[in-house]
Structure 1
């Protein structure tokens, strides 16, 4: 892969985004009761074998174009830093001015690319996940005076017609009171309009979260002396980010935005404000509880004893958890979000290590005449508990480590031990890896290969190829086969260019983060 010019790269990504938007008309999610199904264009695109195949291919090709444009952008950052490192400055003042100008130009280039690639995706039908339909359903539960922590979607009249995944039928919401309150506001304010309007509002919230994440990640990068453009390249312009935080509209962008904002303010000696932001993150997704002790450690400092640390942990717990509890009672849902932390045990990802081990032990239990299902649940719970214990161990024994490294490590051990690892969970770790610093070749490869893997998972799992076309296995085979071949080609090209860049520097590894 040769580094494309900025204009060509920008145009390539825009073409990819437009391709995804057009393809989504044929394979994006639509509720069974959606009024859009009666429109002629949707009937044509969604009930024809050829149109459905073409639509699926457009989505895949668009994602591949985005991946190629994004990788080319990252390679250009590598090569520019490489050439910079090989040139000795003529004076002390000139390089500082030149560096500031170069940094500003690179940040602007990445920000423009991320924005331009995102805009067409705002107009897609939901792809890669149906969670936005669940947000609408949960908002309707709240609007009806029901508690989404004790009531499943099946108790809502017409829930299936919305397009909610049947997995949500008897599953309580795993989200915090801040987000269920937002769900209620969105649904009540769009009650007289088609559900697609509410879905658009939830996508808007996700994009706001992404903008907040990018802004505070950039500020942390500047504070820590990281390459600001390199950080934004990972957290804002990645095709995995665009697929999950724009197209799929996941609320994880809000959670991450609040966490990163909280860490930034804690690093700027404003720990109470940082705690408030983390409390908002917990109110979106309770898994953000992991970040509270990190804020406490930053507040306490690295050279204090356990007494000071415990005081800070108590303070952030009182503000953070106490605030979420009060909000829960205030909106009438109580503390059901605590029980929602167990939701990951009820579902599984086929590629999650905990699920693979659980299935293996469950099969063995069946062979011994025992309950395989019970064995699987037990394995999942034990491993998840082990992941939480590992996070506590890190907080205790590595409390003087870089707080962002510690936060990333705690997230990593819990996610790896979880029986469900959604593609957007990968963004939790990639975001924090970017803020730790991508200054080793293995870290650059981790970003590239993790992005590619989770992109393939996202492209493979949720294609809505119309019920009457489901028996035709050639459609998904053709679509996913194209995705695998295309992603492999991009990765091989990126590997060749990266190796060449390293070789030119005499085995010194280039960096996109510092």
Structure 2
């Protein structure tokens, strides 16, 4: 049936906003992405020694109050417009039709392309990667020597937070950092684009294996791609910010698919090895190993068989990690670096807020509030890890990946510090195992909207000698994002229906 015929067939029952072509949505989403790109040239992160700062067009955007305010507004409006069009796309396609795949693919490609050119937004971790690579290349042990061990680490853009802190990354990512430094030389500008290429590799892995895993779970792969790959949070943190989490998650998704597709020795060994590489990027990927062992053990495996395969899984991964440690000469020093972010919390993390309130209570009673806060943080983290462990033991075989998803969610949600990109870890797993069109979608949409508003106002690179200070810049971005977010939820005649189940069209979500 042609597109026009399908529209005529459903016109009596469906509102006009559903009938319109997705082309307009793809175009307007691309405009939002282009606005973020342009805005990044004025407020995106650049190293103090960046040669890009010397370009006339960059100077005109970064060193006058009016231009900086304009870039803040453009970035905020672009980010929220992209969020709106992502929601609109779900209203305009029918997941059961082949055309949906074409439109979602067009959206993903066209929305991603401008962000590949943008300066880093909302995070400057990419410059810390560069500094850690310089430490590695200098012959020092990055797990013992902070980035302050090399000259001009601040001038190269690294956050002072990392001056004495070991990187919470594994040997594979250290090799990647070293390779990037060798290619980029002394240029942090070249380095951040190379690191974006590394994160894009993770995005490609997700794009390849996410639809396959979705089909395996009986989930529409196009809908899964919309939920994940076209998601503005995903694009912001895994493309614009160039977080190495993209590579870790891409490897995890690939490992899970291989292990679930071929539940034999070949699939098990391949899944373990790919997971081990993910661990050697960021060690949080360790959480996947017990579930890889379950997939390898096979359907209906007895408890003795499961324990044997768990031991084999852990042993093989340990040997592979040991070999990597021998190769780079640092052994298992990365284990000690896992506490780098310990003690950090944020107000929207339930455990973080609880710990803060306990500290206030303890201080008011003359008790050691700081110690009580640390105890709350540790208990929350332990419960999260314990919950993930229990899920490896409890549940049906066909729910193994869903159990992994919930276990990873517990670890993230019970951490006192929930970075926005931690939440993005969860999106591919929920997308492939299924998000129901009820309160699950409500929560997912609200979470996306909240973290997009937060990202817009979280980290901006505002020249410190302007009359407009950083806090004022963040306030402007936050107000613009909040107003646009409220418009999306309560005023926009199309998107407000997304948040009201009784008004959703039959084709939505």
TM-score, reference length from structure 1: 0.90
1:162 match: secondary structure: coil
**Cα offset for 1:229?**
0.7
Cα distance, 1:10–1:504 mapped onto 2, change above 3 Å: closer
Cα distance, 1:365–1:499 mapped onto 2, change above 3 Å: closer
**Which residue number in structure 1 is paired with residue 259 of structure 2?**
266
Is the CA contact 2:116–2:239 (under 8 Å) kept in the aligned structure 1? yes
Cα distance, 1:275–1:371 mapped onto 2, change above 3 Å: same
TM-score, reference length from structure 2: 0.90
5 Å-filtered alignment, 1:105-504, equals: 105-191=99-185, 193-269=186-262, 270-398=267-395, 400=397, 402-469=399-466, 471=469, 473-492=471-490, 493-497=494-498, 499=500
2:300 match: secondary structure: coil
**Which residue number in structure 1 is paired with residue 6 of structure 2?**
none
Cα distance, 1:56–1:149 mapped onto 2, change above 3 Å: same
**Cα offset for 1:478?**
2.5
The C-alpha deviation readout for 1:188-213, integer Å capped at 9, x for no partner, is 1221x521101100001101110111
**Which residue number in structure 1 is paired with residue 7 of structure 2?**
none
For residues 503 and 411 of structure 1, what CA distance do their matches in structure 2 show? 30
For residues 36 and 317 of structure 2, what CA distance do their matches in structure 1 show? 40
**Cα offset for 1:347?**
2.4
For residues 41 and 240 of structure 1, what CA distance do their matches in structure 2 show? 28
**Cα offset for 1:161?**
0.6
Is the CA contact 2:228–2:431 (under 8 Å) kept in the aligned structure 1? yes
Is the CA contact 1:132–1:249 (under 8 Å) kept in the aligned structure 2? yes
**Cα offset for 1:401?**
5.7
2:341 match: secondary structure: helix
Is the CA contact 2:459–2:474 (under 8 Å) kept in the aligned structure 1? no
Is the CA contact 2:442–2:499 (under 8 Å) kept in the aligned structure 1? no
**Cα offset for 1:25?**
1.1
Matched positions, count: 485
The C-alpha deviation readout for 1:82-111, integer Å capped at 9, x for no partner, is xxxxxxxxxxxxxxxxx6xx33x3223212
CA RMSD in angstroms, aligned pairs only: 2.0
For residues 421 and 386 of structure 2, what CA distance do their matches in structure 1 show? 23
Bigger CA drift: 483-492 or 309-318? 483-492
Is the CA contact 1:252–1:285 (under 8 Å) kept in the aligned structure 2? yes
**Cα offset for 1:498?**
6.1
**Cα offset for 1:511?**
7.2
Is the CA contact 2:457–2:475 (under 8 Å) kept in the aligned structure 1? no
The C-alpha deviation readout for 1:347-404, integer Å capped at 9, x for no partner, is 2223212221222222233334344333322321222112111211222223646012
**Cα offset for 1:39?**
2.7
Cα distance, 1:375–1:339 mapped onto 2, change above 3 Å: same
Corresponding position: 1:2 with 2:8: no
For residues 202 and 463 of structure 1, what CA distance do their matches in structure 2 show? 20
The C-alpha deviation readout for 1:259-301, integer Å capped at 9, x for no partner, is 1111111111222211111111111110001111111111223
**Which residue number in structure 2 is paired with residue 47 of structure 1?**
63
Unaligned runs of 5+ residues in structure 1 are: 82-98
For residues 207 and 336 of structure 2, what CA distance do their matches in structure 1 show? 31
Bigger CA drift: 144-153 or 243-252? 144-153
Is the CA contact 1:438–1:511 (under 8 Å) kept in the aligned structure 2? no
Is the CA contact 2:349–2:417 (under 8 Å) kept in the aligned structure 1? yes
The C-alpha deviation readout for 1:441-468, integer Å capped at 9, x for no partner, is 1121222111111112211110122212
Cα distance, 1:161–1:346 mapped onto 2, change above 3 Å: farther
Cα distance, 1:133–1:361 mapped onto 2, change above 3 Å: same
Is the CA contact 1:404–1:435 (under 8 Å) kept in the aligned structure 2? no
For residues 446 and 344 of structure 1, what CA distance do their matches in structure 2 show? 27
For residues 343 and 162 of structure 2, what CA distance do their matches in structure 1 show? 11
**Which residue number in structure 1 is paired with residue 78 of structure 2?**
62
Is the CA contact 1:175–1:284 (under 8 Å) kept in the aligned structure 2? yes
Is the CA contact 2:92–2:508 (under 8 Å) kept in the aligned structure 1? no
Is the CA contact 2:464–2:470 (under 8 Å) kept in the aligned structure 1? no
1:467 match: secondary structure: coil
2:17 match: secondary structure: coil
**Cα offset for 1:473?**
4.9
1:175 match: secondary structure: coil
Cα distance, 1:33–1:440 mapped onto 2, change above 3 Å: same
Cα distance, 1:49–1:503 mapped onto 2, change above 3 Å: closer
**Cα offset for 1:159?**
0.6
Bigger CA drift: 106-115 or 12-21? 106-115
Corresponding position: 1:35 with 2:51: yes
**Cα offset for 1:320?**
2.1
